[in-house]
Amino acid sequence: MEVRQQGNRIILQYGVNVLWVEPWGEDGIRVRMTAEPVMDGRDFALTEPVPETNAFIESERVDMTDPWYRGEEWKRYHMEGTVYRLVNGKITAEVGEEGWITFLNARGEVLLKEYWRNRDRVCRYALPLGIPARELKPIPGTGDYSLTALFEADERERIYGMGQYQVEAWNKKGMVLSLEHRNSQASIPFYVSSLGYGFLWNNPAVGEVVFGTNCTKWSIPSTRKMDYYITAGDTPAEILKHYSEVTGRTPMMPEYGMGFWQCKLRYRTQEEVLEVAREHKRRGLPMDVIVVDFFHWPLQGDWKFDSECFPDPEKMIRELKEMGIETVISIWPTVDERSENFGPMADRGYLMRTDRGNALSGSGWMGPNVFYDATNPGAQEYVWNVVKKNYYEKGAHIFWLDEAEPEIGPYEFDNWRYYAGPARQVTNLYPLEYARGFYNGLKAEGREDIMSLVRCAWAGSQKFGTLTWSGDISSTWRAFKEQLQAGISMGLSGIPWWTCDLGGFIGGDPTDEGFRELLARWFAWGCFLPVFRLHGERSPWFTKEVVMRENGRQELSSGAPNELWSFGERNYEIMSRYLFIREKLRPYIREVMRRASNTGEPVIRPLFFDFPGDPACWREERTYMFGPDVLVSPVTEPNVTAWRVYLPEGSRWEESYTGKLYDGGQVVEAEAPLAVIPVFVREGCGLDIYGELLKKS
């Protein structure tokens, strides 16, 4: 083992393995390892310029025979010989002669350390199991490696973030998580630890992480290097600030993003779109956005309006704008082999390809198709130019980037290949690059109000104006609970703009009283999300006709209704009131969005984000903060009229429905009739959420 210093970088060389430990932004450290002659230069999520810091390196000789190093100090060192310390503000990396790494905070407390069970010439105390903390194993006959990285577990630790998984528990400690995207799953490998650090696994390869009780294990079947970033902070807010500095911050949310978005399985014709918008206005209901969803095109990959169903899209978009409504256009990255763009894109290598078999499986839905390669800059430019001609120049400036995982069928990552490399090594970059192509195209046209609704994300996606939603979830109480966790976790993963299909996507009969209760609760919660958006396929499916077109393709009809007036008078009264509550909250939401853009803080976040000193807030998993002053506890169970809510220490809280004041640090029984979601505001913040709309007299 050779340990040497190069500027503020510690370099370890053992055999063909080279490891770099270096400062990375404020209070941050980046660690990279390769078994190749030259370090892989790809930065993946760590793309932002990092400022110079006052980091420095010092060394110390550790002699374990010295009584000072016995007892508790042994737990820290497990080694003797020379210890190198890289100090960067509030975080320190200690590196021993054998290459073991321990990360400490400014108080000298261990944040994270590598898991070694490998006896060596320096450490007398390691177990002879032959388990190194990090290992790049060559894959025979290739230039690739499998990677394993192990870290010691701490029984006190709670782990939050990691993107979007369909689970109920917020704390990921004890979970096994696959590092891959799927419909309703966005793997964003960044987490916030209750011990006071944030950790980014800076690798877009398919793999797995196990947050075990004996160790944390990151494993990747195929990659070129190990790369991770760790930052320390006194609060979760400080950790997210550091993380967003090195991965990028979301832009300021456009004004249209803060209002109500109307959406359904699809509006099949131009007239259907306009009739819904006109009816909203006739009823005096606010609406900022309406969505023209999938299969409004002739064929997948044409990226243009079907002239039969949308004979004058410019007129449609113009009329919507006159009503104060923006148009969002659905984009799918699939290209049908019959599309006018298939040949030119195939000829230029702009489509995803397979190492074996026929690539024309794609999503396999509604025709033979293949995904375009969003990691190819040329493909990004080609698609944008088509979209610009057929949509942007007709007045549509907001896009819904669907199928962004991408949802290839089946998920055979070992078979797919991108411009950026084999899918097993880079596939998690797809949604980020998909969003980048549209962001760059809109920027080039001079747009500043950029927001793209995207069905997946990876670390850094936020800087491209990405609004992520949670995919095709079911219309069930269980899914409702899971979306609360998903939204909170996405915020802690650096994605401030998030939403879900209110009421769920799969199922939900508008005439069923059970679904109507679920929708009333879910819709009220949507009022207190970053984006307030109603969507769903709505059942029963057999009411949807299948339309056969002249060109031989099939398409779905418009399906069951999904407008506010579609669910009975009781629901209409409840849901319409929340549209006006949302409007009333606009000034507050605008300021919350400004803070997210300036500091990287989540819009919706766990109680511990604002109250890290209250231990109960770290265990609370059904109540959250919407910005710094509004506490929300959605009712996620049926047949409820009262709801237990924990109020954090350090503030007094006003129950918005009743006007009652409570001291923090206690659980209260909030009134929760069907029309009311329990909401509390900090005393003195000046917010009157319900006012005369719902407030109990």
Give 424's Cβ-side CA count (13 Å radius).
Answer: 16
> Which residue is it, tokens 């990028």?
248
Distance (Å, whole) CA 319 – CA 338: 33
User: Which member of 238, 326, 402, 482 is catalytic?
Assistant: 402
- Rg of the chain over all Cα atoms, to the nearest angstrom: 26
Give the residue among 476, 449, 451, 479 at the shortest CA–CA distance from 465.
451
Asked if 402 is an active-site residue, the reply is: yes
CB environment 355-394: b (16+ within 10 A), e (fewer): eeeebbbbbeebbbbbbbbbbbeebbebbbebbbebbbeb
8 Å CB contact between 207 and 241: no
Distance (Å, whole) CA 192 – CA 161: 6
User: Which member of 180, 405, 614, 620 is catalytic?
Assistant: 405
User: Which member of 472, 583, 649, 671 is catalytic?
Assistant: 472
Distance (Å, whole) CA 484 – CA 122: 49
Distance (Å, whole) CA 508 – CA 520: 12
Asked if 405 is an active-site residue, the reply is: yes
8 Å CB contact between 254 and 447: no
Q: What angle do CA 221, 227, 231 make, to 5 degrees?
A: 135
3-class state of residue 469 by DSSP = strand
Give 503's Cβ-side CA count (13 Å radius).
Answer: 31
195, 577, 629, 649 from 610: Cα distances, Å = 16, 29, 9, 11
Query: Would you state the structure tokens that stand for residue 222, as one six-digit string?
Result: 């195929």
Distance (Å, whole) CA 360 – CA 353: 9
Using a 10 angstrom Cβ sphere, with 0-12 exposed, 13-18 middle and 19 or more buried, the burial of residue 339 is: buried
Asked if 306 is an active-site residue, the reply is: no
Q: What angle do CA 76, 81, 84 make, to 5 degrees?
A: 70
Q: Would the CA dihedral through 650, 485, 460, 331 be positive or negative?
A: negative
Give 298's Cβ-side CA count (13 Å radius).
Answer: 14
Residues that are catalytic: 402, 405, 472
